[in-house]
Amino acid sequence: GEFDRAKQAAASEIFSLAADVEAGWYELAGAEQIATMRRAVVKATTAAAELAERFFEAGNITHLELALERAAASEARLESLEARAAVIQQRTRLNRLLGLSGGASYEIVSGLPEPPAEEEGLDTLMELSLASRLDLAAQRREVELLADNLGVTRRYRWLGAVGDVEIGAERERETDGSTLRGPTLALELPVFNQNADSITRAEAELAIAAAELDALQIEVSNAVRLAYAEVETARARLREHAEALVPLREEIVARTQEQVNFMLLGVFELLRVQREEYDAYQSYLEAARDYWLARVELERAVGTALPGAGAPVTAIDAGKLTGPAPMDMEGMQHSEPDAPTDKSGQMQHGERETPAEESGQMQHHKHDDGDTGTEENESPDHSEHGDQP
């Protein structure tokens, strides 16, 4: 009994460590993808601040508008630093779980995976937990041992307690000088004491163990239900990001780009909605990370790997999430800084070249005859802007 309990305790510790390592991997993969996202935001906001400097020097924007762009760039750098620190923290934590030194170097070859097409049913997971939880198995074994002990106590009640049986040796000298030697056995006959106290104690121990088993089964059932609800909630959040928030943010950027091309909005408005798009991407990555962490906790509650855990998965590509490359702010320089513009940063028609987007970059298009009073607006194809994850 003790050996079986020791084996089950060791197996439980190994399973818990494996779950911690899996969770640590998801934490690190998510942190690295978020750090990649924040670096892209730093590039975009830094370029926007530099463009704002040139607009301000040309008298096209106010000092307030310049300060807003500078502050946005500063906030982006701070968030990028926090993301880098999170990567170091999660890598160190994973190294500790793996028994590696802090300086161990390895690469996460793939990012956070996309969720499986379907989730396992709650009833299936409940049955699996009752069959797989090591603590339940240990408690069942305890009940079986105590039941056997009660049966033995009842069967051999006439022998009394172990302490009531005495075995020894005796030597006796006779009157003629000879010596007699032999074994002795003393035991209590159940004439007045039929060992009822031992039976009562064994029955009580069995009843307590059975009650603890019932309580543990209820606890496991509640833990599985709660973990399953957490997975369902995390999956719903992830689906809302993938099917609604991210596509809407991408559409907003595309429509804003069109407005900029037709000089109905200023370029800084486009930069603002692009930052909001990046924030949506980061929120999506965080939702994916939280989903997989919730699945780890569900595995921990069930007591084994979930059905279909080894099925192939597709990793989320953080590079695709950032969409086209950041706009080339050098292409936004004015060939005539003294020409008037409105305070929103919009270039007045006939006095500035119209920026158009080509592969995510803002560039000028001039006629070969050098006539800057006539411009062409090229509407970009936004059908692939920011591939939907």
In this structure, is residue 167 part of a structural domain?
yes
What is the predicted pLDDT for the residue at 326?
A: 45
Contact 266, 260 (CB under 8 A): yes
Long-range contacts of 145-148, Cβ-Cβ distance < 8 Å, separation of 24 or more: 145/1, 146/202, 146/205, 146/206, 146/209, 147/206
pLDDT in tens, 37-51: 999 899 989 999 999
Q: H or E segment at 252?
A: helix 246-261
- Domain membership of residue 339 as a residue range: 2-363
Name the residue with tokens 């020791």.
Answer: 6
| Dihedral sign from CA coordinates of 167, 171, 172, 174 | positive
C-alpha separations of 357 from 178, 325, 326, 361 in Å:
122, 11, 11, 5
In this structure, is residue 380 part of a structural domain?
no
Alpha helices in 119-245 (DSSP H): 122-132, 134-155, 196-240
In this structure, is residue 109 part of a structural domain?
yes
- pLDDT at position 357 over 80: no
- Euclidean distance between CA atoms 224 and 298, whole angstroms: 6
Instruction: Identify the CATH number of the domain in which residue 314 sits.
Output: 1.20.1600.10
- pLDDT at position 238 over 90: yes
Give DSSP secondary structure letters for 271-304: HHHHHHHHHHHHHHHHHHHHHHHHHHHHHHHHTS
Taking the C-alpha atoms of 157, 158, 160 and 166 in order, what is their torsion angle to the nearest 10 degrees?
-140
- 158: pLDDT confidence band, cut at 50, 70 and 90? low
pLDDT in tens, 311-354: 778 888 766 776 554 444 444 443 333 333 443 334 333 333 33
Is 194 in a helix, a strand, or coil?
Answer: coil
Report the range of poorest mean pLDDT among 94-108, 116-130, 270-284. Answer: 94-108
What is the predicted pLDDT for the residue at 351?
A: 37
Structural domain count of the chain: 1
Instruction: Give residues with Cβ within 8 angstroms of 96, minimum separation 6.
Output: none
- Euclidean distance between CA atoms 214 and 140, whole angstroms: 10
- The end-to-end CA distance of the chain, in Å, is 53
- 177: pLDDT confidence band, cut at 50, 70 and 90? low
Q: Which of 350, 351, 378, 388 is nearest to 260 (CA)?
A: 378
- pLDDT at position 275 over 60: yes
How many helices (H) and strands (E) in the chain? 8, 4
In this structure, is residue 368 part of a structural domain?
no
How does DSSP classify residue 1? Answer: -
pTM score: 0.73
Name the residue with tokens 């793996």.
Answer: 98
Q: What number of CA atoms fall less than 13 Å from residue 120's CA on the CB side?
A: 21
Taking the C-alpha atoms of 355, 361, 366 and 368 in order, what is their torsion angle to the nearest 10 degrees?
-170
- 57: pLDDT confidence band, cut at 50, 70 and 90? very high
Instruction: Give residues with Cβ within 8 angstroms of 6, minimum separation 6.
Output: none
What is the predicted pLDDT for the residue at 182?
A: 73
Amino acid identity at 56: F
What is the predicted pLDDT for the residue at 28?
A: 96
Name the residue with tokens 């880098």.
Answer: 84
- Euclidean distance between CA atoms 277 and 283, whole angstroms: 10
In this structure, is residue 378 part of a structural domain?
no
What tokens appear for 105 in the block?
């170097």
In this structure, is residue 293 part of a structural domain?
yes
pLDDT in tens, 74-116: 999 999 999 999 999 999 999 999 999 877 778 887 789 999 9
- Euclidean distance between CA atoms 56 and 52, whole angstroms: 6
Is 177 in a helix, a strand, or coil?
Answer: coil
Phi, psi of 185 (to 5 degrees): -140, 130
- Euclidean distance between CA atoms 246 and 261, whole angstroms: 23
> How many other C-beta atoms are found inside a 10 Å radius of the C-beta of residue 9?
13
**Mean pLDDT for the stretch of residues 265-286:** 92
Name the residue with tokens 């508008």.
Answer: 65
Rounded to 10°, the helix 2-57/134-155 angle is: 160
In this structure, is residue 106 part of a structural domain?
yes
In this structure, is residue 358 part of a structural domain?
yes
